[in-house]
Amino acid sequence: MRTILLLLVSNTFMTFAWYGHLKHQDTALWKVILISWGIAFFEYCFMVPANRFGAQEGFTGFQLKTIQEVITLTVFSVFAIFFLKEPLRWNYLVSFFFLIGAVYFMFKK
């Protein structure tokens, strides 16, 4: 569970680092890059331990990456709807459904 929590925090920082600047298009690109880089530092402070603990808990690298991608899409969806004010469309939901299928097969023994 701590792996999942750390990945959630990490991906929240990552989402703001990568996409938060989209609401501030008037800010100089070089400033946005430096700010994003600073935010990304905190992402790494949570991502690296999440992967280390996950590996110690028995997850494979493939499984950790799959978990991370699902968390990334979940965090990004909330971010896009509430921060960027973008609509959630039916085809996005269908895509997420197929990703859940990918997770199922990733963890199937």
Residue 79's H or E segment, with its range, is helix 61-82
Exposure letters 25-38 (e unless 16+ CB within 10 A, then b): eeeeeeebeebbee
This prediction's pTM: 0.85
According to the model, what pLDDT value does residue 33 have? 96
Q: How far apart are the first and last CA of the chain?
A: 20
User: Average pLDDT for residues 7-33, to the nearest whole number?
Assistant: 95
Label residue 60 left, alpha or beta by phi (over 0 means left) and psi (-120 to 50 means alpha): beta
At residue 101, what is the residue type? G
pLDDT above 90 for 106: no
Residues 6+ away with beta carbon under 8 Å from 107: 63
Tens-place pLDDT, residues 86-96: 999 999 999 88
Is residue 92 within 8 A of residue 77, CB to CB? The reply is: yes
Sign of the Cα pseudo-torsion (33, 5, 74, 79, in order): negative
According to the model, what pLDDT value does residue 103 have? 84
